Structure 1
């Protein structure tokens, strides 16, 4: 077995066995972010601690494609919910420092000598972290610009921000209050855009909607039915408890072919192609 690969495997096992200590050290490093973890989870359904463990696996195992895709997903999620970028930067830098702290602990515990490979190891890990940050910020900036342009149109032309993420998949982030008038605009724009752009999958993110009246929900289900008639699958993400409760009490439900996922990130993981 390649020594470098063997070292990575053993290091990953060491990190998994000490995951709780890793979290404790990470929270000590991330001074400003640790008090915002619950808020970020509530606002954007973003689990910083779980995502930190995922990022570490990608870095140690050198899963470059998975790391790039994860960075893109994170960038879109943070842009969608307008979360302060300084928290992300501090969090990732804290992850970097914590990884190196545990590498030192692992070497002290096992007596592994990495002196000859240290500079290569340093370059490998730090390049992976930097690659994640670079892809994250590009994704954030690109999607944020699209959101700003779409929201400007929404104000100027009462448009609907349908944002393409590849040739066949688009995101429709529904943000703010939704009444019967706005659902009429949604209906017109969604069906028109499906016809013009040949959208095959429309991810409708409702995490920005705290509540909707039953008649509005009913109209929304009809829009989804119309999209299905045109050959477009709709994926609903981020449904709030209040909305679901009203649907249940009103006897409303989506078409069985309509997929629902808890968060936008879950949909992106499934439909975003790197």
Structure 2
């Protein structure tokens, strides 16, 4: 498993052990002239034991593969919700695709895991890449917002497209509890972030 040997190749080796074991017993039979009934009793014990070993080997191999696949899937999930630091205390998380219950949990865990190390005060969730916002998606966003608020991080949602906004209004979803801005630039300006060159020009102007 550690050398990434395919299962069928690994299993093909097991009959070799079965053959070696029976060769040993055959030689013992010839040398010590065991009765045939003795060999029959031996076979009744050895064959089921070898079959069990084969079955257990397959189960362990399957469990190892599932573990490795889960690790890879978790890594892909984390990559699907990147958290990008902008400056001290501010970060952006662009979200693309569907926000189902499982993914919202991944988003929440990623945010909470990194908010301490980055000492975040603001997190901008850009959902311009989210195709659909329904009551379930909105509820998941509210949960993320509440979780961040509990640890002192203010979440701002940006990128709600006009067609999405119409759907939200039709569904009666109330986003008043969450701060929203049209785009990233508006959100950054709202929390007082300016680019270094703009800050320099402000100080240089008469």
TM superposition score normalised by structure 2: 0.51
Asked if structure 2 preserves the Cα contact closer than 8 Å seen for 1:210 and 1:240, the reply is no
* 1:182 paired residue number: 103
Asked if structure 1 preserves the Cα contact closer than 8 Å seen for 2:84 and 2:91, the reply is yes
The count of corresponding residues between Structure 1 and Structure 2 is 121
Paired residue secondary structure (1:182): helix
* 1:221 paired residue number: 142
List alignment gaps of at least 5 residues for structure 2.
1-71, 197-206
Q: Quick check: which one's helix share is greater? A: 1
Q: What's the CA shift string for 1:234-260, capped at 9, x where partnerless? A: 11111123433343344332353x321
1:167 aligns with 2:79: no
Asked if structure 1 preserves the Cα contact closer than 8 Å seen for 2:134 and 2:168, the reply is no
Offset, 1:272: 4.0
Q: Distance in 2 between matches of 1:246 and 1:193?
A: 32
* 2:182 paired residue number: 262
Indicate the RMSD between aligned Cα atoms, in angstroms.
2.4
Match of 2:77 among 158, 165, 169: 158
**Which structure has the larger Rg?**
2
Q: Distance in 1 between matches of 2:118 and 2:92?
A: 13
Offset, 1:229: 1.5
TM superposition score normalised by structure 1: 0.40
Match of 1:196 among 90, 98, 117: 117
* 1:206 paired residue number: 127
Q: Which has the higher contact order (CA 8 A, sep 6+)?
A: 1
